[in-house]
Structure 1
Amino acid sequence: MSSNSEPNPKIIDLIAKKEAGSKPFVSIEFFPPRSDAGVKNLYARMQRMKESINPLFSDVTWGAGGSTADLTLEIAEHLKETGHVANMHMTCTNMEKDGDPKLAVHSALKTAQKYGIRNIVALRGDPAAGQDEWKAADGGFTCALDLVKYMRENFGDEFGISVAGYPEGHPNAISEIEDPSTMSESEKARSSTCDGKTFTCKDEDYKKEMDYLKQKIDAGADFIITQMFFDTKVFGTFVDDCRKWGINVPIVPGLMCINAYPGFCKMTKFCKTRVPAELQAKMDSIQDDAEAIKAFGVEYGIQMCRELMEIGVDVLHFYTLNLEKVTFGILKGLGYDVKGVVDESDASTMVAKGSAWARVGDKVKTIYGSGTVQDVRSDGTAQVMIESWSLAEGQTPTAFLQKEHYSKVF
């Protein structure tokens, strides 16, 4: 399709068409792969998933620090051209309002508008590569609320806007609790444990989170997509709390597909996600069996979705990790009409470009062997201690590698 073709409909209008008593719509999320081969393979997967499950909409993420801006726009355009309703993420990290077209929000929105992309996920974003704390760009936005306001003030109703919601609290609002016995019942219900430590979003911080979410909706956001969670009771409480706060827009649950044990542990630790004890125990018991992990990912996903359907969600949104087996398995188990054959032979190419996960302490693969990231520079170059080598007197070599020469261990 050309830039003059019919633009995508707004997602909020599509959600409104859901018939009472019908199954939830299905939506999916992809990330920009690091290599050209990964992009090519992703496009093939997108086509298979369009034909197999016909998602209501398809997200594409915006890499940390704006590192995938051009590729994100390219993938969103491809989604739109191939029949998907594209929902493009946009973050504030390293993004100016105007100025350099490659770093300016206004230019990115004009490009999206040109290609008929009419749905944006407005996010603050993760810190830029090499930074531990998030900082606004000079003349840029300080938070997702600024981005929502800017879009409505400068583009009116041209775009449908979704924003993030955090049933357990934003990771930055989650605190370590020295004495768990001091937690309130609500704090306990959304608490998590990691390395013997207890974390939760304290009640006063949770209130601030809900107040801020209400501001984003009042500023013009159409609906909410949540951070991943594995305890549906926490999601149910979050929905109830949103309604108490006067937040009456659709709330779409974000479902992280369980594909591998290392990735599950990495992401839940990074996000301080609540993991029910029985889920963690099961994952630990089968951690060395990759196929068993995927099979259990399907089983647990079906269970979660059934509980969410009882709550009454409009959409089931799958964080696919650029794979399809677990998503297809869950949907088949729920009775959806899933066509086609799964092909994950290209899974090794699904490594994220500009990934926010490559940080100090991460385990990575390199051309020299496996190692641990000691430092990450602003351009993504990593200082990696190569632990698979053993030199004289027990010394361990260090390599300085550009980001395309190392990959995270999932």
Structure 2
Amino acid sequence: MNKHNFGLSFEFFPPKTNEQKVILLDTQARLRKLNPDFFSVTFGAGGSTITATAETVLELKTHDTPKVIPHLSCMGGTPDEIQTLLQQYLDHGITDILALRGDVPSGMGSVGYFRYANELIEFIHEKYPDTFHVTVGCYPEVHPETESFESEIKYFKQKVDAGVDRAITQFFFNPEAYFNFLDHCEKAGIDTPITPGIMPITNFANIKRFCGFCGTDMPRWLQYKLQSFGDDRKSIQQFGTDFTIRLCEQLLEQGVPGIHFYTLNRAKATLDVVKALS
């Protein structure tokens, strides 16, 4: 077992094929050897994987895994459907939820019954008082749909005030963005632990696309460096691993409460980073 002196957690997404399921089960088996605090499982745009999320969470619980936290978004259906899902989790001993507004699919004019994450959080606590521990997401570089940085802090505080235990950031490449976000949260009276979310770089085209979706700023020098490797995937992965290690080291030197890795259901890059940090 690798030893580390910081909180550690990993995000997975529900597999869509049997081949993807085999990959995920292999990934979780390799990553659980790092003794993480928890795994989380994503929900999908528009609640598109609501059933698959629950199936994946319950499948992971049948293995020798750490705590598994399902994502739940505002687009998870009607209040009755959401309560049914919460009860299913509770019946299986799952008392942690990662509550999100969720991504609105292209062409969808509105979200579900709950418009914002704070409303979903309030619903969870109303139906199950003192039962679920709620984690939320936050955007140190501002959500693409948020009009300003000040509004981002305001919306985040609304979620925190609804009752949360921790927050995890969207992935970023600029540690200054994370620490600047923490400073503004402190000024706003937010004292909830905020864990940085990190996505190891393994594919330039994919990571650039993800940045566009979630508003993450990729520094120009980093883009040029990755572009310079062309189709040399091995060099991209090696550079990406080295970059991610340095980023995590900067965060840990400043005493962050832990690191949450967006794994994309693959183990190698995350393993390489954590082993270097350990």
In which range does the TM-score fall when normalised by the shorter chain? over 0.9
Contact 1:79–1:86, Cα closer than 8 Å, also in 2: yes
* Distance 1:287-1:221 versus aligned 2 partners, 3 A rule: farther
Match of 2:78?
A: 96
Correspondence 1:234 to 2:177: yes
Match of 2:143?
A: 170
The structure with the largest alpha-carbon Rg is 1
Correspondence 1:127 to 2:119: no
Give the C-alpha shift of residue 311 in structure 1: 2.1
Match of 1:55?
A: 36
The structure that is helix-richer by fraction is 2
Which of the residues 161, 186, 208 maps onto 2:134?
161
SS of match in other structure, 1:169? coil
CA distance in 2, matches of 1:141, 1:314: 30
Give the C-alpha shift of residue 40 in structure 1: 2.7
Match of 1:294?
A: 237
Match of 1:332?
A: 275
* Distance 1:296-1:32 versus aligned 2 partners, 3 A rule: same
Correspondence 1:248 to 2:230: no
Question: How do 1:210-359 and structure 2 match up within 5 A?
Answer: 210-334=153-277, 336=278
Which of the residues 144, 163, 171 maps onto 2:117?
144
Give the C-alpha shift of residue 41 in structure 1: 2.5
Contact 1:93–1:135, Cα closer than 8 Å, also in 2: no
CA distance in 2, matches of 1:258, 1:132: 30
SS of match in other structure, 1:108? helix
SS of match in other structure, 2:145? helix
Correspondence 1:114 to 2:91: yes
Contact 2:10–2:260, Cα closer than 8 Å, also in 1: yes
Give the C-alpha shift of residue 306 in structure 1: 0.8
Contact 2:143–2:215, Cα closer than 8 Å, also in 1: no
CA distance in 1, matches of 2:186, 2:107: 34
Q: What letter corresponds to residue 185 of structure 2 in structure 1?
A: C
Q: What letter corresponds to residue 69 of structure 1 in structure 2?
A: I
Give the C-alpha shift of residue 94 in structure 1: 5.2
SS of match in other structure, 2:141? coil
1:329-379 C-alpha deviation (Å, 9 max, x unpaired): 111221x2xxxxxxxxxxxxxxxxxxxxxxxxxxxxxxxxxxxxxxxxxxx
CA distance in 2, matches of 1:248, 1:149: 19
* Distance 1:134-1:170 versus aligned 2 partners, 3 A rule: farther
CA-based RMSD of the aligned residues comes to 1.5
Q: What letter corresponds to residue 330 of structure 1 in structure 2?
A: V
CA distance in 2, matches of 1:258, 1:309: 19
CA distance in 2, matches of 1:215, 1:164: 12
Contact 1:77–1:117, Cα closer than 8 Å, also in 2: no
1:190-234 C-alpha deviation (Å, 9 max, x unpaired): xxxxxxxxxxxxxxx211221121111111111111011110000
Q: What letter corresponds to residue 141 of structure 2 in structure 1?
A: E
Q: How many residue pairs align between the two structures? A: 274
CA distance in 2, matches of 1:269, 1:44: 30
CA distance in 2, matches of 1:226, 1:91: 16
CA distance in 2, matches of 1:29, 1:240: 26
CA distance in 1, matches of 2:18, 2:110: 30
Match of 1:35?
A: 17
Q: Where in structure 1 are there 5+ consecutive unaligned residues? A: 1-21, 99-103, 175-204, 337-410
CA distance in 2, matches of 1:132, 1:228: 26
Match of 1:67?
A: 48
CA distance in 2, matches of 1:126, 1:307: 30
SS of match in other structure, 1:172? coil
Give the C-alpha shift of residue 133 in structure 1: 4.8
Q: Where in structure 2 are there 5+ consecutive unaligned residues? A: none
Identity %: 37
Match of 2:67?
A: 85
Structure 2 length as normaliser, TM-score? Answer: 0.94
CA distance in 2, matches of 1:277, 1:290: 20
Contact 1:30–1:61, Cα closer than 8 Å, also in 2: yes
Contact 1:260–1:294, Cα closer than 8 Å, also in 2: yes
CA distance in 2, matches of 1:306, 1:61: 26
